[in-house]
Amino acid sequence: MITLGFVYVLAGIGFALFALLGLQDRSNSKRFGNAAFWGLLAVSMLAGDRLGDFGNGLLVLALVAIAGTGQIGRAPGGDVPAGVQTERAARHGPFLLLVALIIPAVALAGTFLFKWIPGLADPKQATLISLAIGVLIALAVGMARLKPPPLLPLQQGRRLLDAVGWAAILPQMLASLGAVFALAGVGEVVGQLIGTAIPEGSLFGATLAFGLGMALFTMVMGNAFAAFPVMLAAVGMPLLIKQYDGDPAVVAAIGMLAGFCGTLMTPMAANFNLVPAALLELKNPYGVIKAQVGTALPLLAVNIFFIYLFAF
Amino acid sequence: MLVLIGILIILAGFLLRFNPLLVIMASALATGLAAGLDITAIIAAFGKAFNDTRYVSIVWIVLPVIGLLEAYGLQQHARTLITRMKGATLGRLLTSYLLLRQGMSAVGLTSVAGHPQTVRPLVAPMAEAAAEAGNDALTDGQREEVKAFAAATDNIGLFFGEDIFLAIGSILLMKGVLEGYGYQIEPLHFSLWAIPTAIAAFLIHGFRLRRLERRMQKRESDA
């Protein structure tokens, strides 16, 4: 049976090759830092389960030390000239689009297939496993037809990853910080603070505090999942559901969506907000957040109004 | 109360634009120490969580495919396709993608699209081409805004579609937490109550995409 372990091995090999190719790139003055950074990530993917908790912790400290002292960077240039790209696009265009669509198509088909036929792959991880298989198929089909120099996909992939840089592991780092916050009981303290700030006897005040609290605490944690149990315990359960007899399904469902509005407005949700800015090579790292605030704020107001309207 | 120091460090660190990885590590250490943990326990807890969340970083395995296709002109082809389509305006293109992403997420297909898989190679270059169709080239600032809106549209489609799906993590979390308080609620109830917000998200963001389209039709190189 295929498990997530297979995907980790694949990712580990990928990062190891990025590290080796990076080491050979003499045009990059920071090639040693890059090679060490992606090499450590390869170790984490391939052998993380055997390093032990403290060993993994030391690995993270090394990653932070390399990135935090500015030891990683990207080589200038290396782009395929625009003229060549345009000429190739005229020749291969429809085929390229087809290959690009193989990845989502296989992810889609695999998700259903692995759930219908049990035993092939871990059904809980069906989409991620299918995504990895889709990548392998797309790569094979593309290589067979385009016949590029054998290392071209890895070299170009490495350049894209170097452009993203240390932001590539930011989401994983923030998720880990969330675990330390949980261990230290940060959530309970914030919940108590918000709980004491609500005017007594006002149903609308309580609803407002619940919705705003979900959004604000999500912005701090970068994740609505971390905010939900805290805000429910502090405001949702004692006031909205118990005291004012609100419908728990409405309070929970729409409260969670109020939290999602917070996710749109915070750099802490790095995989949604900062990583795409790096991937699209935006000058402003907060450009995506800027584009989202205008949707998030009115939608947050709508969510708070919906709780008030539908729950009571 | 002292454990809130980690949040202060995060806020200050992001505002002062220190390297976020350093800020996160400093926040984790300070929070753990404030809670009375010893330093090895904090490092071990962080390491365990980092290892448990590796799946977050495996999306980068798509990069060699994207790199290959882009070297052969995928972005140019995506642009050509849009310029040939009559009536494919910036607003219509991104609104269609919003609807598609919300619909796919609502049936649980959240990882099918995303920033590396679809936004960078396809949606962003298509949006740029649509904004330029029958008009001059975009200014640098406008190009930046169009790309940012392509990414934003992906996020909004994902967030306000996925909660309609019964088996998504957030619904299971809500069910679990409410069960802890003695309320038995079927996942379907949470799903149904996500629909009004999904419609509101589509209307609000769709309206903003129309305004973006109008804004991008003017070329004023203001400083």
| Interchain proximity B34–A57, CB inside 8 Å | no
User: Tens digits of per-residue pLDDT, A164-194?
Assistant: 888 888 878 887 887 888 788 887 787 778 7
* For chain A, domain boundaries: 4-166, 185-310
CA distance, residue A60 to nearest chain B CA (Å)? 7
| Interchain proximity A54–B50, CB inside 8 Å | no
In whole numbers, what is the pLDDT of chain B averaged over residues? 87
User: Tens digits of per-residue pLDDT, B58-89?
Assistant: 888 888 998 898 888 888 888 787 777 777 89
SS3 A121: strand
The closest of B8, B3, B4, B2 to B23, measured between CA atoms, is: B8
For residue B49, what are its two tokens? 């969580």
CA distance, residue A226 to nearest chain B CA (Å)? 10
CA pair distance A172, A239, nearest whole angstrom:
35
Give A140's contacts (C-beta < 8 A, 6+ positions apart). Answer: none
Length in residues, chain A: 312
| Interchain proximity B62–A175, CB inside 8 Å | no
CA pair distance A252, A157, nearest whole angstrom:
41
**DSSP letter assigned to residue B4:** G
| Interchain proximity A96–B35, CB inside 8 Å | no
> Which residue is it, tokens 């995907």?
A7
Question: What is the predicted ipTM?
Answer: 0.84
Of residues A11, A155, A175, nearest to B49 (C-beta)? A175
Cβ atoms within 10 Å of A235's Cβ, excluding its own: 27
Q: Would the CA dihedral through A196, A199, A200, A206 be positive or negative?
A: negative
CA distance, residue B178 to nearest chain A CA (Å)? 8
Q: What is the pLDDT of residue A120?
A: 81
Of residues A99, A170, A172, nearest to B69 (C-beta)? A99
Report, as an integer, the average pLDDT of A246-268: 94
pLDDT of residue A46 exceeding 90: yes
SS3 B200: helix
Q: Would the CA dihedral through B32, B34, B37, B40 be positive or negative?
A: positive
Of residues B50, B118, B152, nearest to A56 (C-beta)? B50
| Interchain proximity A160–B63, CB inside 8 Å | yes
